[in-house]
Chain A
């Protein structure tokens, strides 16, 4: 463990074909890695399962936002129309769940959208202006004709030489160490 160099971000390895990177991902998953990623020029069906990814946690934040919005809408209309400044409008009650429902409903949607948008920002650790991968000269090719597996140094299983050999055993083409 003391060989671990803090200035290393990880090891990258390129593949030529979708099937190769798919099977490589399955092996990395089975080896128990948690901090790693796959970069491909296009979505590959089944990659989520091949990488052992769980479903996104964003929907939970959406639900939380929606419930918060609904309660906010209820309190907002109750406080304004019935508590702070009771006002008869159109002979309706000061507060009922019916006439202010559009407010409650719109607040639900607005806050659910906030939950989704800011939730993915937080979970993706955004904003972030630079990433060590951008320093790789051939990284741009993963948006063209190259597939890449990156094992990150922050994974407890990471060990520079062993990880490099592991990637070689997966049939990787070009193996590069990424520095922070």
Chain B
């Protein structure tokens, strides 16, 4: 087992190298886009960064939740989350942070930061009363402070969850479990606030007229879904020629499958509730956000984005939901893996749906604007950015795995976790 683990871990430089090459390429595209005032390549960087940040925030939450609940099944799986979350501040530093701190990218992506930007109504952002009313929160200085705080907060929390857990491998102190229990109890509510604000700033503020109080919960639901799907994919690989060979059992898969089912329902509940309230209230400030995701403002017909939203309902919710209802889907490794891949890829579609459509000023259009298309060349840079950030995350994960035992051998619940039974 140890030979295959070290084989895996030694590939970290390859992954990191590939990731750096991909990210350099994506950033080059972003700078080229800057030249002709095209925000879309910069949005690819943001999407790649947020996809992995979301997954890692989910894993950080799962780490803390299983700590707080003293989950007996968790330790052998949680160690892999601890290896993963070290990459969280780095992912934010390579994506969101430079996009926010470099003024050109900031003005391009977050239109409200550019006072001279012209809105479809013909007014300048600087004279927009809606922005003025929100300016206590949406002002550049506070925005940048918040972005910096996310990096520091998630970085420190991830560092703490890793450090005390890794210490336990060498000094065999049960007290570290209590320390981490306390950190987690404080970390969960703070992370809930932080991830909500992160979703507001990085995604909701891309379209600053619109607001939804459910948005943070939606982001949390997506994060946990991605984290669980990522965990299933990761542990599948690690139990076939990795350090979970012979350790990961049917009951571990079953519990991950049950959680995937629960959060699939939770995601649908939150996403539908947001739509349902806006549909019922029917207030123009809110409905425009869904209208640009359903209709082409020039022709008035259903657009590509309508197809994307139907995919979210039937491909991202209904298919995994119906599949996960069956017990055998949760215990047969290949079936669980297939469902996890569907959820993992669906997460990209959900981010596309939330981040990409925006009103682009076009004087010739009847409404004064068009909507960014779904099908365009930038889908390739999106996927390149997601692959690039992914390679960096996996590289850092493998590097972390050389720094501690690959299962937490002195965790007080390690035997319970290894012998976990349905």
A residues engaging B (CB < 8 A)?
45-46, 55, 59, 63, 90-92, 98-99, 101-102
Contact = CB atoms under 8 A, between A and B. Distances in A.
A99 B279 contact: yes
A45 B421 contact: yes
B189 to A, nearest CB: 29
Contact of A99 (B280, B325, B327, B421): B280
9 contacts: A63-B325, A90-B282, A91-B282, A92-B280, A98-B276, A99-B276, A99-B280, A101-B272, A102-B276
Contacts of B275: 98
A98 B327 contact: no
B40 to A, nearest CB: 31
B276 A55 contact: no
Nearest to B326: A59
Contacts of B421: 45-46
A98 to B, nearest CB: 6
Contacts of A99: 276, 279-280
Contacts of B282: 90-91
For chain B, the bracket of interface size reads under 10
Nearest to B272: A101
B192 to A, nearest CB: 25
Nearest to B327: A55
Given A45-B421, A63-B325, A98-B275, 16 more contacts: A46-B421, A55-B327, A59-B325, A59-B327, A90-B280, A90-B282, A91-B282, A92-B280, A98-B276, A98-B279, A99-B276, A99-B279, A99-B280, A101-B272, A101-B276, A102-B276
Contacts of A55: 327
Nearest to B268: A105
B312 to A, nearest CB: 14
Nearest to B328: A55
Contacts of A92: 280
A109 to B, nearest CB: 11
Interface in B264-319: 272, 275-276, 279-280, 282
A151 B66 CA distance: 43
A57 to B, nearest CB: 12
A174 B96 CA distance: 73
Contacts of A101: 272, 276
Nearest to A102: B276
Contacts of B272: 101
Contacts of B280: 90, 92, 99
Nearest to B269: A105
B253 to A, nearest CB: 16
B309 to A, nearest CB: 12
Contacts of B276: 98-99, 101-102
B223 to A, nearest CB: 24
A61 to B, nearest CB: 13
Nearest to A55: B327
Nearest to B322: A63
Nearest to A45: B421
Nearest to B325: A63
A100 to B, nearest CB: 11
A1 B141 CA distance: 91
A99 B280 CA distance: 7
A102 B279 CA distance: 13
Interface in B150-168: none
Nearest to A96: B279
A5 B355 CA distance: 75
A173 B86 CA distance: 58
A77 to B, nearest CB: 14
A99 B279 CA distance: 8
Nearest to A46: B421
Contacts of B279: 98-99
A48 to B, nearest CB: 9
A81 to B, nearest CB: 14
Contacts of A46: 421
B323 to A, nearest CB: 13
Contacts of B327: 55, 59
Interface in B324-345: 325, 327
A156 B97 CA distance: 74
A55 B282 CA distance: 48
B7 to A, nearest CB: 34
Nearest to A56: B327
